[in-house]
Amino acid sequence: MMMNSRVGGGGGGGGGGGRVRVSALPLLAVVVFAVLATVAWVGDSVSVTGGPNPDATPIPLFQAYTNALPEDLLDMLMEDALLYDKMAKSGGNLKFGKLPTTWYPLVGDDYRPPRFASEVAISFLRDLDFPGDLLHEHGVIGAEWWYQVRDRDENIGFHFDKDEAVASLEMRLSHPVLSTVTYLSNTGGPTLIFNQSSIDGNDNQPTIPELGALSFPARNKHINFHGNLLHGVVGSLTNAPQGVTQRRVTFLVNWWSVKAQPPNCQPLSRDQIRQFEEISRGAVALIDQKAFHSAHPSALVDVTSPDEAAQISDDEYFTVTLTPEERTHIWWNHSLPSDGTYQIRWKGDALLGGVSVLDLYEGPSVRRVFSTPKPKLFLFYDENKHNLWELEKLFLPAVKPHADAFLMFTAERKKTKDAMNTLGIVDGDLPTVAIHDTTDDNKAVMTGIFSRARVEDFIARFRKQHSSEQQQEQTQDDQEEKEEEKEEDKYQDE
């Protein structure tokens, strides 16, 4: 049996969808799918900034530390977490339901020495994450911080950390230099980070990630990773059995080289500062412990998946939904201890994804269909008759080698009627695979039995035919050009 963990919803502060939400094409698209589909594309890409400074001393993709903070400080952070959680929830939600985060400047006139536990922790973590001259080399000017208090098996949806205000209001993607997580409890699902970033707000690079890190909660562990990487929390892999009431509490600090903007990220008000100061008397004195507290870098344990699909059984996969609504099936060795920090390499069929869920009535997928001139590849099915995972096991490995050549979708009939009509597919044809090249309105629908080999064959034929057509056009163009040149030569000769 496959573990199913639909990861939904935004990550709260610093979370939210990974995609920059450029106003979705309206419902109208449903009725005009056929028309739009032939009008090439209406894509809008956005600028992406952030991550470590490429010209400075490089920082590894993922790093971990044990004993990150003095033990006395951890108890105080736990109290800050509960206060923060209360404040955030009573403060009212921002656009798209995101929770606010807090800005703490590290340089300039606005800088204040640490006043309470969270700020003391930030000062410790700054030295841990940016030893030597790295802080200056990477231009870090401030910290964005917040807490997450979650249940033992709660998900945090996959997202990119970004300036949420800039994403909502200016349609740009601005990432921190580094994102970090400090675990205050031993409980909960692991943080899963992919070596995958957004190129333009629409497409991710690589389309299907090959490397990632999985970090299980462990009190006083601190991890950091490049601020432009896709990540989330996988509740179904929780290390806490049912009945455990302890919650997953984390302290999040992101390091920025530009100021994260209000209203999503704000300095605390005077009153809020007073409340934190009241509960964390004594924290400031801990600054002096800096000299003799001992954080340890801790190497990530390397884990590599099997090469062959045949060596992977169903129950070694877990399923998450990445952005944008992309079901992804990920191999994991469930025998490994659930308090470790791992770097994972997924080979062959160990990570199956790169395919979005098409829904013409809701969500960002309509806009996505028309966001690129790439041909579209669809798996059409009927959820009342077909088990999607059984189809995906045949479909996803077959399309994986073509992930960069197509924009790929799974398409449930009730949500994709207009697309089916456009392609001339009726209910009796399901399940089937279809390709629509929206630039020249070239359509193809697979016929016959649904198998991995047939899907592979169908795609290979389409690509071969298509590239030979393009070559023919190219040869024709070349011929015409040569003839034009000849004409020109003639004139010149005369």
Closest CB to ligand NAG among 229 and 286? Answer: 229
From 108-116, 129-137, 328-336, 408-416, span contacting ligand NAG (CB under 6 A): 328-336
In 48-90, alpha helices (H)? 71-90
Distance CA 212, CA 6 (A): 19
Closest CB to ligand NAG among 335 and 384? Answer: 335
Residue whose structure tokens are 């231009």: 139
Distance CA 53, CA 58 (A): 8
Smallest separation, CB 231 to ligand NAG (Å): 14
Closest CB to ligand NAG among 312 and 360? Answer: 312
Taking residues 192 to 221 in sequence order and writing x for each that binds ligand NAG by CB under 6 A, - otherwise, the string is ---x---------xx----x----------
Going by their DSSP bridges, the two strands 142-150 and 156-159 should be labelled as unpaired
**Nearest partner of 282 among 106, 114, 89, judged by Cα:** 114
> 275 is written with which tokens?
């409340």
Smallest separation, CB 329 to ligand NAG (Å): 16
Instruction: Report the sign of the C-alpha dihedral through residues 77, 79, 85, 86, in that order.
Output: negative
Smallest separation, CB 226 to ligand NAG (Å): 9
Taking residues 42 to 61 in sequence order and writing x for each that binds ligand NAG by CB under 6 A, - otherwise, the string is -------------------x
Distance CA 487, CA 494 (A): 11
Smallest separation, CB 349 to ligand NAG (Å): 14
Smallest separation, CB 203 to ligand NAG (Å): 12
Query: Alpha carbon of 193 to those of 11, 33, 66, 158: distances in Å?
Result: 14, 35, 18, 9
Closest CB to ligand NAG among 139 and 306? Answer: 306
Residues 68-127 that bind ligand NAG (CB under 6 A): none
Q: How many residues line the site for ligand NAG (CB under 6 A)?
A: 9
Decide if 82 contacts 119 (C-beta within 8 A): no
Smallest separation, CB 431 to ligand NAG (Å): 31
Closest CB to ligand NAG among 209 and 375? Answer: 209
Closest CB to ligand NAG among 290 and 347? Answer: 347
**Is 468 a binder of ligand NAG (CB under 6 A)?**
no
Closest CB to ligand NAG among 195 and 323? Answer: 195
Smallest separation, CB 305 to ligand NAG (Å): 7
Smallest separation, CB 488 to ligand NAG (Å): 46
Closest CB to ligand NAG among 63 and 195? Answer: 195
Closest CB to ligand NAG among 205 and 387? Answer: 205
Smallest separation, CB 337 to ligand NAG (Å): 8
Distance CA 126, CA 116 (A): 16
Closest CB to ligand NAG among 206 and 397? Answer: 206
Closest CB to ligand NAG among 64 and 77? Answer: 64
Q: Count how many Cα atoms sit within 13 Å of the Cα of residue 39 in the half-sphere of its side chain.
A: 9
Taking residues 150 to 189 in sequence order and writing x for each that binds ligand NAG by CB under 6 A, - otherwise, the string is ----------------------------------------
Distance CA 73, CA 251 (A): 12
Distance CA 372, CA 406 (A): 10
Question: Residue 125, Cα to own-chain centre: how many angstroms?
Answer: 24
Smallest separation, CB 407 to ligand NAG (Å): 19
Question: Residue 446, Cα to own-chain centre: how many angstroms?
Answer: 32
Residues 329-348 that bind ligand NAG (CB under 6 A): 333, 335-336
User: Side chain identity at 34, as an amino acid letter?
Assistant: A
> 439 is written with which tokens?
């630039």
Smallest separation, CB 312 to ligand NAG (Å): 8
The dihedrals phi and psi of 311, each to the nearest 5 degrees, come to -90, 0
Instruction: Report the sign of the C-alpha dihedral through residues 366, 162, 214, 236, in that order.
Output: negative
Distance CA 159, CA 3 (A): 21
Q: Count how many Cα atoms sit within 13 Å of the Cα of residue 27 in the half-sphere of its side chain.
A: 3
Which residues lie across from 197 on neighbouring strands?
205
> 21 is written with which tokens?
């939400």
Chain positions contacting ligand NAG, by CB under 6 A:
61, 195, 205-206, 211, 306, 333, 335-336
